[in-house]
Structure 1
Amino acid sequence: MDVTTEPETSSGASSAPAPAFVDDRLAHWALATPDAEAMTYGDRTWTWAAWNDRVRRAAGGLQALGIGRGDVVAVLDKNHPACVEISLAAGSLGAANAIVNWRLAGDEIDYAVNDSGARVLVVGTELRPAVDAIRDRLRHVERIIEVTPDGADGDEYEAWLAAASPVSRPAEVSPDDVCLVMYSSGTTGHPKGVLLTHANLVEHTLNAHDGWAFEPGDKSMVAMPLFHVGGSSYVLFGIHDGIPSVMTRDPDGASLAGAILAGANRTFLVPAVLAQVLQAGPDAVRLFGALRTFTYGAAPMPLPLLRAAMESWPETDFIQVYGLTEVAGVATHLMPEDHRAAVAGEHPERLVSAGVPIPGMEVRIVDPATLADVPTGEHGEIWLRSQQVMQGFLGRPEETAKVLVDGGWFRTGDLGKVDDGGYVFVEDRIKDMIISGGENVYSPEVERVLSEHPAVLEVAVIGVPDATWGETVKAVVALAPETRASEEELLAWCRDRLAHFKCPRSVDVVDALPRNPTGKILKRDLRAPYWADRDRAVN
């Protein structure tokens, strides 16, 4: 099955010149609307001219430290405009910013910084002790620059910027130069550095922005972590359209509420945040109703939660996105009209789809064994092709060759199907597929059924070893506050709604499901006790 969506011009597209580099639009707005608001962070706000000057000074400061084309710098901090400034500045020199997950432990920070080869490390004050503890292990780092959350007196980063001379992009820098190194989630083994170029990110900005471009008066809330592709790609949308951004340091309720009170009305967040808002009471629900667009992704959205959100905020446009770091972010989207149509009863099954390919994105569904395309509606591995596809994995040519195949296709490792309308359904990770007695069980189908139970807050379905069937289905659930449900009740719920072979044989009730720093459920951790010391490990 092969699906292709042709690029279209978004109705809200700006008349500004088409960008080739990630900092092109920032420079444009600095000339076109120099005194307009560009970025707000805490108590500080910068105009387009001021923000562009900071980026140009950061480029000059990096150049003075010997950073040039092909080099890597790194940022380790919670969300901070300095991270975006370093990304744009390094990119303008033909260098790349490796954004390190600030939630990592010392050994993991050591791994990411060393793996990236970063020569300069910008670190937040809160994270400085962790870096000092491993300083002697950071083999490539020549300079550490500390940045404070509020730009207070003594902020080393601010002093470094002020002392630097602004520089422009050297002529030899190419749109095909890597400008961002994003580390994959690392649900198995060490994370891999994904190499994204200017061309990848510009293409993503144009294509993923389709159908919901900002309008005058809008403000973009940047709350997703910048170490996540959903943060560092999304922040470019406001820059592209010349719309102010309000960045939160943390994605907590108070920070999000503060951004909305500051005028932010468009955002991208993970579904878990939505659940927290709905549980926070009527005042929070009322406040979040000011959002014109709520884009969600990076983790599955339970149907009861989505329906509750759409009922609570009928005027808000909901957009679901499916994507991967390796394609710079979004690959498919389920648009607001699809959400409303599905709730109204028109193709209700598409509410659990990932939507259709964004412009410029081709999708194939391929039999992973034969590498032949499968018919419409049948399951296979999702393959993607686009100008958004990464250059490869940093320093891992063999790993790159496994996923980037002839013809420019990227093998996602995700299992799914495409219906007769071109809607993509992401069913599972191939390595997560449960094979019980020769039958394939797709865990999201079982998870969706269990998530409909009124007591279930979140659920993960895994395969556990079985002497007779090879694997059997097991569910791990966390219950909503002040609710109760027994294992037998949950099993009976599934038996009434699923084929027998798909039903869990057992259910564990836990306080919370394990997640990695980007919020993805760690099924590996749930499986580990069952697959230890076995020849085959499902992870």
Structure 2
Amino acid sequence: MIVPFSVSDFLYRATTVYGDRTGIVDEPHQPAASWGEITYAEVGARARRMAAKLDELGIGFGERVAIVSHNSARLLTAFWGISGYGRVLVPVNFRLSRDEVAYIVEHSGAEALFIDPELADSLDGLKASAHTFVIGSDDELMVDGEDADPQPWEPDENATATINYTSGTTARPKGVQMTHRNIWVDATTFGWHTGVSDRDVYLHTLPMFHCNGWGMPFTMAGMGVPQVVLRKVDGNEILRRVEKHGVTLMCGAPAVVAAILDAAQTWDGEIPGRDRTRIVVAGAPPPTRTIQRVEEELGWEFLQIYGLTETSPLLTVNRSRQEWDDLPAADRAARLGRAGTPAVGVRLRIDDEGEVLARSNVVLAGYWENPEETARVLDGGWFHTGDGGTFTDGYLTISDRKKDVIITGGENVSSIEVEDAIFSHPDVAEVAVIGVPDEKWGETIKALVVKAEGSPLTEQELIDYVKGKVARYKAPSSVEFREVLDRTATGKLQKFKLRAPYWEGRDRQVN
């Protein structure tokens, strides 16, 4: 018997087995009315209402629905109310500029757009092709009313469930098509490797737009795990939620770890979650010392994974193993600094140029409306990660980034996109954007700029200018003015040479 995978499988189990258990603890401090604590039975009911409202709006199976929102119970429920009933959810990065959001809405062909009320003014007038709503004030279009009976959707595991836009090597973001099969396999293997059980409590520190919150909404629902929503990352607030709700698991970029460690320095009393909480980190490998501090200062278990939006994201996982139990903390931390071992169902190899290639059921179906880029990244039946690395004794180590993507605070930033914004300034003659190491953010964005002759342009003026062109987190944190940017005989910038002085003494060109 072959039964097609569907993201609805996870909520079905939650409502069937854990219907009376708290399913979501919504963020209490938000511009829209908080849902407070709702059971998994109520999550299922609200998902059905959401799907029924899409029926009424005439949004058919396979059509796209975009949501620009901070973390919220509404967004979390949409994974089932939209994707679980045959539509395609397009969760949009709320940090993007108006023009960037408009591009994604238009490119995806979204039939409906839901906007977080905090963004209503900045996105005022932005329209989807048919319907635009502000979350909270238009809630009756999503969740209000009696229990609903939406049109049944016959699951197709190869159908697109979500389109997640990611910055890559091009100035425009690419829409990563995640199928029901991609999400299902990722959620189950992720839960297996992290040891998720119905005794866990999960805290959403990850933005839910980011690779579907790394797939955790599905993993947790399938095991009946209460999911605590955090709207904005704050180290002290994370510790408070761990203490109040008994949180045992969370995921985040190295910047989240840094925020928690900073907050712990002034925390009154014992750090909550000691010997109980585990944190899964990805986005960039944190320094060994940071890993050791998680174990020693917080008393939490540290896990590291490696993957990309294009891989749902789980490719590798690194979790302390029995053979390391008697090692000194520093030695154990050094071993945990590697990207890790292949997850179940993942095959890895390193090609002749040192690029990491992967094969797995978690690899994207393709880039939305971009067959050329899809063919390139899946050339030869392997997914080309764009990252350089080594694979030894079953462990992958990422050593360099072949594609020009900067990962700052866990977010991908295309250097080409930032260069385009900078070069649009009339006083800029040449520019190269690179990532440089930073203890808090992993990497920060540095612009190397040659000014037009006689220009009085200052560093802060240029940074402010760029912030008006792209999302603020994509703007350079520093600008270095130069007389010339060295190029090859063919006029090509060699960014690895430009980066080298800033990474001197490090064995990896990622941080």
TM over 0.5: yes
Over residues 402-445 of structure 1, what are the superposed CA-to-partner deviations in whole Å (9 max), with x where a residue is unaligned?
A: 001233x11111100111x2100111111469xxxxxxxxx99x
What's the offset of the Cα at 1:214?
2.5
Supply the distance in 2 between the matched residues of 1:339 and 1:523 (Cα, whole angstroms).
39
What's the offset of the Cα at 1:147?
1.4
Contact persistence 1:278–1:284 (CA under 8 A): no
Matched with 2:103 is: 111
Supply the distance in 2 between the matched residues of 1:411 and 1:321 (Cα, whole angstroms).
18
Matched with 1:263 is: 246
Contact persistence 2:386–2:402 (CA under 8 A): yes
What's the offset of the Cα at 1:75?
0.3
Contact persistence 1:384–1:411 (CA under 8 A): yes
What's the offset of the Cα at 1:53?
0.4
Q: 1:141 aligns with which of 124, 129, 136?
A: 129
Over residues 306-351 of structure 1, what are the superposed CA-to-partner deviations in whole Å (9 max), with x where a residue is unaligned?
A: 122222134x221101000001011101013277566557687533
Q: 2:235 aligns with which of 253, 271, 275?
A: 253
Structure 2 CA distance for partners of 1:402 and 1:278, relative to 1, 3 Å: same
Supply the distance in 2 between the matched residues of 1:358 and 1:349 (Cα, whole angstroms).
20
Matched with 2:446 is: none
Structure 2 CA distance for partners of 1:116 and 1:242, relative to 1, 3 Å: same
Matched, 1:195 2:183: no
Equivalent position amino acid for 1:403 in 2: V
SS in 1 for 2:178: strand
Equivalent position amino acid for 1:278 in 2: L
Supply the distance in 1 between the matched residues of 2:475 and 2:324 (Cα, whole angstroms).
25
Over residues 146-182 of structure 1, what are the superposed CA-to-partner deviations in whole Å (9 max), with x where a residue is unaligned?
A: 113xxxxxx3224642247623563444111101111
Matched with 1:405 is: 379
Q: 1:429 aligns with which of 375, 396, 401?
A: 401
Over residues 109-143 of structure 1, what are the superposed CA-to-partner deviations in whole Å (9 max), with x where a residue is unaligned?
A: 1111111111101111111112214x2xx4x4311
What's the offset of the Cα at 1:192?
0.4
What's the offset of the Cα at 1:276?
2.0
Supply the distance in 1 between the matched residues of 2:45 and 2:482 (Cα, whole angstroms).
51
Q: Among all aligned residue pairs of Structure 1 and Structure 2, give the percentage whose two residues are the same amino acid.
A: 28
Structure 2 CA distance for partners of 1:477 and 1:100, relative to 1, 3 Å: closer
SS in 2 for 1:406: helix
Supply the distance in 2 between the matched residues of 1:63 and 1:523 (Cα, whole angstroms).
46
Matched, 1:334 2:318: yes
Matched with 2:12 is: 27
Matched with 2:504 is: none
Supply the distance in 2 between the matched residues of 1:477 and 1:392 (Cα, whole angstroms).
32
Q: 1:57 aligns with which of 44, 49, 53?
A: 49
Equivalent position amino acid for 2:62 in 1: G
Structure 2 CA distance for partners of 1:357 and 1:69, relative to 1, 3 Å: same
* Structural mapping, 1:68-467, within 5 Å: 68-133=60-125, 135=126, 138=127, 140-148=128-136, 155-158=137-140, 160-163=142-145, 166-168=148-150, 170-186=152-168, 188-229=170-211, 231-260=213-242, 261-280=244-263, 281-283=265-267, 286-290=270-274, 291-314=276-299, 316-337=300-321, 343=328, 350-368=335-353, 380-407=354-381, 409-419=382-392, 421-431=393-403
Structure 2 CA distance for partners of 1:300 and 1:113, relative to 1, 3 Å: same
Matched with 1:466 is: none
Range moving further from structure 2, 322-331 or 156-165: 156-165
For structure 1, which runs of at least 5 residues remain unmatched after alignment?
Answer: 1-16, 149-154, 369-379, 434-442, 445-461, 463-473, 481-511
Matched with 2:492 is: 536
Contact persistence 2:487–2:494 (CA under 8 A): no
What's the offset of the Cα at 1:188?
4.4
Supply the distance in 1 between the matched residues of 2:85 and 2:478 (Cα, whole angstroms).
40
SS in 2 for 1:209: helix
Supply the distance in 2 between the matched residues of 1:478 and 1:25 (Cα, whole angstroms).
38
Supply the distance in 1 between the matched residues of 2:284 and 2:476 (Cα, whole angstroms).
11
Supply the distance in 1 between the matched residues of 2:478 and 2:374 (Cα, whole angstroms).
23
Supply the distance in 2 between the matched residues of 1:329 and 1:146 (Cα, whole angstroms).
30
What's the offset of the Cα at 1:263?
2.1
Supply the distance in 2 between the matched residues of 1:23 and 1:213 (Cα, whole angstroms).
22
Supply the distance in 2 between the matched residues of 1:19 and 1:305 (Cα, whole angstroms).
42
Count of aligned pairs:
431
Structure 2 CA distance for partners of 1:95 and 1:347, relative to 1, 3 Å: same
Over residues 285-311 of structure 1, what are the superposed CA-to-partner deviations in whole Å (9 max), with x where a residue is unaligned?
A: 943444521111112201222122222
Structure 2 CA distance for partners of 1:208 and 1:214, relative to 1, 3 Å: closer
Supply the distance in 1 between the matched residues of 2:294 and 2:317 (Cα, whole angstroms).
18
Structure 2 CA distance for partners of 1:181 and 1:523, relative to 1, 3 Å: farther
Contact persistence 2:292–2:333 (CA under 8 A): no
Supply the distance in 2 between the matched residues of 1:528 and 1:363 (Cα, whole angstroms).
41
SS in 1 for 2:122: helix
Supply the distance in 2 between the matched residues of 1:116 and 1:297 (Cα, whole angstroms).
27
Supply the distance in 1 between the matched residues of 2:37 and 2:154 (Cα, whole angstroms).
33
Contact persistence 1:269–1:297 (CA under 8 A): yes
Contact persistence 2:11–2:44 (CA under 8 A): yes
Structure 2 CA distance for partners of 1:303 and 1:285, relative to 1, 3 Å: farther
Structure 2 CA distance for partners of 1:476 and 1:146, relative to 1, 3 Å: closer
Matched with 1:500 is: none
Supply the distance in 2 between the matched residues of 1:389 and 1:285 (Cα, whole angstroms).
44
Structure 2 CA distance for partners of 1:525 and 1:95, relative to 1, 3 Å: farther
Range moving further from structure 2, 61-70 or 180-189: 180-189
SS in 2 for 1:111: helix
If the length of structure 2 is used for normalisation, what is the TM-score?
0.76
Supply the distance in 2 between the matched residues of 1:298 and 1:131 (Cα, whole angstroms).
28
Supply the distance in 1 between the matched residues of 2:191 and 2:474 (Cα, whole angstroms).
24
